[in-house]
Amino acid sequence: MVVYATAADYAAYTDKPAPDGIAAALARASERIDELLLGAVYNTDDNEMPTDPKEREAIMRATCAQAAWSLALGDPYGVASAFKDVQIGSVRLGGRNTDGGPPRHAPDAARILHTAGLLPGYVFDVAAW
Q: Along the 129 residues of the chain, how does pLDDT read in single tens digits?
A: 899 999 999 999 999 999 999 999 999 999 999 999 988 899 999 999 999 999 999 999 999 999 999 998 876 666 665 655 666 666 666 655 455 555 788 999 999 999 999 987 655 555 444
In a domain, 82, yes or no: yes
pLDDT at 122: 59
Domain membership of residue 2 (yes or no) is no
Residue 1 falls inside a structural domain: no
Report residue 129 CA to chain centroid gap: 19
Q: How many CB atoms lie within 10 A of CB 109?
A: 25
- pLDDT value at residue 105: 87
- Give the count of domains, the chain: 1
Cβ of 125: how many Cβ atoms within 10 Å?
18
Question: Structure pTM?
Answer: 0.79
Q: What three-state secondary structure class fits 86?
A: coil
Range of the domain at 67: 7-128
- pLDDT confidence of residue 129: 43
* Contacts of 71 by beta carbon, 8 Å cutoff, 6+ apart: 19, 25
